[in-house]
Amino acid sequence: MRLTQLMLSKLIRAAVEFEMLDEGDRILLGVSGGKDSLFLTLAMSELRSRVKKNFELTALTIDPMFRAEFDVDRIKKFCAELGIDHHVRRTDINGAIQSSKESPCFTCSYFRRAAVNRFATEIGANKVAYAHHLDDAVETFFMSLMSSGRLTTFLPKTFLDRTGVTVIRPLCYIRESEIESFMHENGIESVKSPCPIDGTTNRQSIKELIARLEPDYPDLFSHLASAMRRSAIGDLWAAPKTRLEMRDEYFATIAHKTVETPLKK
């Protein structure tokens, strides 16, 4: 199996533009068994044979304990065929969700990342690679705007101070549809997600909202992707001022200082 030239070009662009690879890297791949993470495993294996910099690859699957049985045999076989060591760690994410007041997705993500970072530290991996693609980045950006009023998304490369591990997302220029087509054409079957709310999350709602809007706004996705760049920031309002910052201007404009006002204190 070989990546298409377009996919390979996007993969290399991401690695070069965001300086994801260094000589002697030991990279831990987060592999859930879904289509994206299996594609990441294949892509990083091919990238390893294409670039001048030498780096090692190790794969980790987190068993979130949503089910009594979690079949990882296909994941292990897939990694073995690519010459990548594969490990499994059980983490009671299901129990954490039941006892947490946070949303299930937030709790799952938090404990999953923590488990991956711990394992990376254990084996001496200096980088962790996740399979987040361009659609994930755009959906995160749009979801942040809709739910919190903030313009933010995950970064292609992030250094984690607490662990000393650098997170990279090599698929950040590749569309989800490209991955789906590649996996289908090459007969690569993914492992069904054990997540009990798979397909009903806020992210899924945002994905479907973008799909519904695209017929009326054909450039919506590309515009959202462009808006994620810092260079896209145009004229925006300044941050709201505090009462203390407005105090002098308030009295100069509105009221005499002897008048009791909400800003006097």
- Give the pLDDT confidence of 179-211 residue by residue, as tens digits: 999 999 999 999 887 777 777 788 899 999 999
51-67 tens-digit pLDDT: 999 999 999 999 888 87
Q: Is residue 256 part of a domain?
A: no
Structural domain includes residue 103: yes
Count how many domains the chain has: 1
What is the structure's pLDDT at 263? 57
> Is residue 2, in this structure, part of any structural domain at all?
no
Q: Does 263 fall in a domain?
A: no
Q: For residue 23, tell me if it sits in a domain.
A: yes
Neighbouring C-beta atoms of residue 95, cutoff 10 Å:
12
User: Residue 249 and residue 66: Cα distance in Å, rounded?
Assistant: 58
CATH classification of the domain holding 105: 3.40.50.620
The two three-digit tokens of residue 108, written as one number? 């799952």
Residue, of 259 and 123, whose pLDDT is higher: 123
What b/e readout covers 27-66, taking b as 16+ CB neighbours within 10 angstroms? bbbbbbbbbbbbbbbbbbbbbbeeeeeebebbbbbbbbeb
Higher pLDDT, 260 or 36: 36
**Across the chain, what does the average pLDDT equal?**
91
Mean pLDDT, residues 126-151 taken together: 95
Domain that holds residue 165: 7-232
Q: How far is CA 88 from CA 37, 62, 119, 120, in A?
A: 14, 6, 10, 12
pLDDT at residue number 131: 97
**Residue 64 included in any domain:** yes
The proportion of the chain whose per-residue pLDDT surpasses 90, expressed as a percent, equals 73
pLDDT for the residue numbered 228: 95
CA 106 to chain centre: 13
Mean pLDDT to the nearest integer, 87-113: 85
The answer to whether residue 252 is domain-embedded is no
Does 199 reside within a domain?
yes
The Cα 38–Cα 162 span in angstroms is 28
Answer yes or no: is pLDDT of 39 > 60. Answer: yes
Q: Is the pLDDT of residue 222 over 90?
A: yes
Count CB atoms within 10 A of the CB of residue 3: 19
Residue 43 predicted with pLDDT over 70:
yes
Q: By the 8 A CB rule, do 37 and 75 touch? A: no
Q: How far is Cα 249 from Cα 217, in angstroms, rounded to an integer?
A: 43
Mean pLDDT of 238-259: 83
